[in-house]
Chain A
């Protein structure tokens, strides 16, 4: 049995090399003209080069399309160049941010900083003294406590929106959306007003965690709602048809089916709040020493550590701030990749 050779489908609409020659020529001429302008006029430097390149590219693409076709085509070319540049602008800052964080943060990074705190270290002490153990422990505490508070509330909210579908579902959804926009500083002020002024407590990691929980609830609720919406209604109907009550259907069918999606929602919430700084400034006090009690006494967190060292302003404390930023970014990116990994898995939601 010989297999018949199937001819490769030809694509007469595809762009062949001959057709790209004019475009390539325009690109080369654009770059050359830009070099010439930068070389022979007083405009110098990288900034001038980029700006001139942009303007020349606009003019060149407009001219070539205008000559070959008409005014509409010229307008199309101009807009194409601008849209491409906008796309470039979105990528560029992230590249710069990641590059600078790694370049400036890697110097202060060593295993030693995870085993000591800053209790006896002066701000201008060399980098091999002191560390951010207290900050890492603080961040662990506040993220854990904030999750414990916000995850039940967030998931209950999403269950209300998708399972109970009460009369007020539209209103609740609207308010949850609005709540995700409240400034983090307001959450900090609110907790300060309640926990410190009204109840007379002192700074603690718990207070910071409560402020973060407020910011985490909308993220968890909205993501969980999206996940629960994806669970096919057949499952719910099957559960009810077999005689299950709504409670048992939700608890034993809907939630297990949505499990990995709900975990994604929680991690997304954690990633949202792990780097928050402003509410912590008002609620945690910012200790330099390790504080293992989350309910009493000043404590720190990685963003707070970065903030404090940045404000100190000495050369080594700035270096410390950058290593803190690097550690923070690594943590945030780990959470971020986890959500990607979990939501990317096929089969379950």
Chain B
């Protein structure tokens, strides 16, 4: 009756060898994925290539010098390009912006995370998101026509009562379009980004530690000081740096409220300041081909600085978020 033992069917061969379509898919997607690296590489390459001559002839003086002299062709004099004053001015307005934006943003993030009543949270987050979406030209016009008259008055008050401090000194009666005002406009522009990053970081504070602090009888402020701040310090600093990066790269809003002068001055209330990004737009219109190359070189420096700040900021934020 019994027949021979049933022969087992041949074993199925299981492979993970991708099909042809998958190979194509992976290749295309990987190519797209690397596009951002390629673009960043191309940007630095092209700007460097165009600015190379200027870097060569000016050398280190391009960074440290603060003369931007374009002689007329018939004069036959050598041109001078130095963005030292602009770099200094950029740092000054960036720091002024952070000086105002940082405490307000951290305070607002704390307010949203621990103080605000439940019904207020959603509308306020909406307000912050809308602020982040407002184009910079709008801030520029608003800063010039609405904020500046008020800010000039504030600057006069600061000068009147704190004028003995050198940075608030006024050699001339010119309060409009000063680094102080540009810093204020930038502060309003970066508050949304610093606030939302701080809020995200605060939201990740471990709840058990928050509750532990309350259980030990801490007031809200003691809890924030001992739990929230130590935990979120890195992320908040990273957020502030992202804000600084945005402030440094801002162009048109600064252009409208800042009088660009190639000179290093410590008086922040005086109508003379600098910003690399705005200077590029300022000079671009009438630039001859050689000056254009100097502008490309300035753009390259600006690109490197902002990229570096962003790298560092994202590194800090990612590290804090992962912990």
Contact = CB atoms under 8 A, between A and B. Distances in A.
B160 interface: no
Interface in A132-157: 152-153, 155-157
Contacts of A333: 130, 133
Interface in A86-133: 86-87, 89-91, 93-94, 96-97, 100-101, 104
Interface residues of A, number: 90
Contacts, number: 277
A275 to B, nearest CB: 2
Given A185-B302, A190-B42, A174 B314 contact: yes
Given A87-B107, A87-B124, A185 B141 contact: no
B37 interface: yes
Contacts of A79: 220-221, 224
Contacts of B25: 245-247, 250
Nearest to A105: B141
A94 B33 contact: no
Nearest to A332: B133
Main secondary structure of the interface of B (DSSP, over half): helix
A349 to B, nearest CB: 19
Contact of B281 (A176, A218, A278, A321): A278
A190 B45 CA distance: 9
Interface residues of B, number: 96
A278 B195 contact: no
A247 to B, nearest CB: 4
Interface in A144-176: 152-153, 155-157, 159-161, 163-164, 166, 168-169, 171-172, 174-176
A56 interface: no
B200 to A, nearest CB: 13
A184 interface: yes
Interface of B: 18-19, 21-22, 24-26, 28-37, 39-40, 42-43, 46-47, 49-50, 103-108, 110-112, 115-116, 124, 126-131, 133-142, 144-146, 153-154, 157, 188, 191-192, 195, 219-222, 224, 242, 245-246, 248-252, 256, 277, 280-281, 284, 292, 295-296, 299, 302-303, 306-307, 309-311, 313-315, 318
